[in-house]
Amino acid sequence: MYGDGRVVVTSPFSTKQTDIEKFVADKKRWLLEKINFLKRAGSSRAGRVLTRRDYLENKNRALFLVRERVEFYNKIYGFKFNKIFIRNQKTRWGSCSKKGNLSINYKIVFLPKNHQDYIIAHELCHLKEFNHSKKFWALVAKTFPDYPDIKKELRKIGLFYR
């Protein structure tokens, strides 16, 4: 979905047009809510579409923040990781590779501190449990017992705006 309200559906080449149309019809309510949200947010500073320039201007700030918070939370968890990357991801706040690399979305700098910390702790926990099993969520709950509430808030925020 783009800031101007256009919606683009991407799918595997083999997906039938009827399946795509059904998917869009099933998600119609959600799509309309997001489009209306984007329109309401308009061009205000608190609700504008982020650009590549925003990424370039905030990448170093994000890296500094993430390194600092990874160091803090890893004193609790004690996991080994390889590298930290700051990315301009469209659909994720963060990810963890099997090589132990942590990738965090630069938009983390626009979130409240508890949301920032949750994302970092969440990705650190993937270093031990590379899944979303009960063991994984127990690790997350060690530092964020209210993680279900934070997850819901992050879904509401989405990645479109700051």
pLDDT tier for residue 46 given thresholds of 50, 70 and 90: very low
What value does the mean pLDDT take over residues 133-155? 95
Q: What is the pLDDT of residue 5?
A: 61
Long-range contacts of 112-120 (CB under 8 A, 24+ apart): 114/150, 115/150, 115/153, 115/154, 115/157, 116/65, 116/69, 117/69, 117/73, 117/143, 117/144, 118/144, 118/147, 118/150, 118/151, 118/154, 119/93, 119/94, 119/154, 120/66, 120/69, 120/70, 120/73, 120/94
What class, spelled out in words, does domain 52-157 have in CATH? alpha beta
Q: What is the pLDDT of residue 43?
A: 42
* pTM listed for this prediction: 0.71
pLDDT digits (tens, 9 = 90+) for 71-87: 999 999 999 999 999 99
Q: What is the pLDDT of residue 36?
A: 73
Q: What is the pLDDT of residue 161?
A: 43
What value does the mean pLDDT take over residues 127-138? 96
Domain spans of the chain?
1-48, 52-157
